[in-house]
Structure 1
Amino acid sequence: MARISGEVVIRRTPKKVFECVADERNEPSWNPRMKRVELLTPGPVGVGTRWAATAGTPRGSTDMVIEVTGYEPARRLDSVTQLPGMDIVGSVLFQGAPEGTRLRWRWDVRPRGALRAVGPLLGLVGRRQERQAWEGLRRHLEREGVRR
């Protein structure tokens, strides 16, 4: 297993940041690796909401299913992501800060089968990719004309 964690400060309210992150359909607008996201379950986003997504990879693309497992508006979002060969379990925390929102992420990457042998490498690559993705969210939200 590899653990990936980090944080970024975004000059927007926790409510605004949470709303953008909680609806996975927004992710392609700030994460260039995310190519497609489709809602699989009816109703508003909350515990049990599932998404089908496709992310670009160096070798093409990877399909995944993301399920919301914890949902506390403007505070916390937990999920499980199932991909071929691994599961990713984790949380995103939203904390008010003088500058706006301190967003913290923590993912446990749990490779299965042959991918277990490259678990440490998945952690290294994942840390870089997550940092880039969340910085993309920061840039996306801060360039919007929305006031805090």
Structure 2
Amino acid sequence: MTHIRGEVLIRRPVEEVFDFVADQRNEPTYNPDMVFSERVSTGPIGVGSRFRAAVGSGRRPVEMRIEYTAFDRPHLIASTTTMAAAEFSGTLTFKSTPAGTVLRWSWQVRPKGALRLMGPVFGPIGSRREQRTWARLRDHLEAAAKPPLRPGPVPTRFRRAATSHPPAA
């Protein structure tokens, strides 16, 4: 078994970050490896919510099943993800800070079949991929939160230049 852990600061309120992450269908917007994600359970998102997703890997997408095993809004999501080659279980925790939200992940990876021999490689590769994915989430949420640019007053030097030319006939 391999452990993958990390954290990222997202300069957005904890409830916003939690709700966006909790809806697994949002992941393709910040994870370029994810081909699709759909919800296969009904009712509000929480313990027992299930999703079907796929990530690009080689020539064809690799399907995965995700199920939430614990859910405490806006602090914790625990889940299991089952793929043909491995099983992942772990948690995402969300902590409110004056600067925004600290998102921490902790995963246990159990490779299956012949991939068990590659267990030591899963840690470093998985850590880099997770860090990249959650940094993209941060960038996505922080960029979406920026107010739209509003036209401001025209600087004086440009106003003079505009009025110094005679109007066109």
Per the normalisation by structure 1, the TM-score is 0.95
Secondary structure of residue in 2 paired with 1:57 = coil
In the TM superposition, what is the alpha-carbon distance from 1:58 to its structure 2 partner? 3.9
- Please give the alpha-carbon distance, in whole angstroms, between the structure 2 residues aligned to 1:57 and 1:45: 28
1:56-135 pair list within 5 angstroms: 56-135=56-135
Q: How many angstroms does 1:122 deviate by?
A: 1.3
- Residue 25 of structure 1 is matched in structure 2 by 25
The C-alpha deviation readout for 1:36-55, integer Å capped at 9, x for no partner, is 01111111111001100011
Gaps of 5+ in 1: none
Q: Say which structure, 1 or 2, has more relative contact order (CA 8 Å, 6+ apart).
A: 1
Identity of aligned residues (%): 44
User: Offset of 1:129 from its aligned partner?
Assistant: 0.5
**5+ residue gaps in structure 2?**
148-169
Q: TM-score, normalised by structure 2?
A: 0.84
Q: Deviations over 1:28-87 (max 9, x none)?
A: 001111110111111111100110001112443210000000100010000000001211
Matches of 2:99 and 2:10, distance apart in 1: 7
The whole-number CA distance in structure 2 between the counterparts of 1:145 and 1:110 is: 37
Larger relative strand fraction: 1
User: Structure 2 CA distance, aligned partners of 1:141 and 1:27?
Assistant: 12
Correspondence 1:43-58 to 2 at 5 A: 43-58=43-58
**Deviation (angstroms), 1:146:** 6.4
Q: Could you say if the C-alpha distance between residues 59 and 124 of structure 1 is closer, same or farther in structure 2, counting changes exceeding 3 Å?
A: farther
Q: Distance in 2 between matches of 1:57 and 1:126?
A: 14
How big is the alpha-carbon RMSD for the aligned residues of Structure 1 and Structure 2? Answer: 1.2
- In terms of Rg, which structure is larger? 2
Aligned partner of 1:54: which letter?
A: A
Give me the whole-angstrom Cα distance separating, in 1, the residues matched to 2:92 and 2:81: 13
**SS of alignment partner, residue 42 of structure 2:** coil
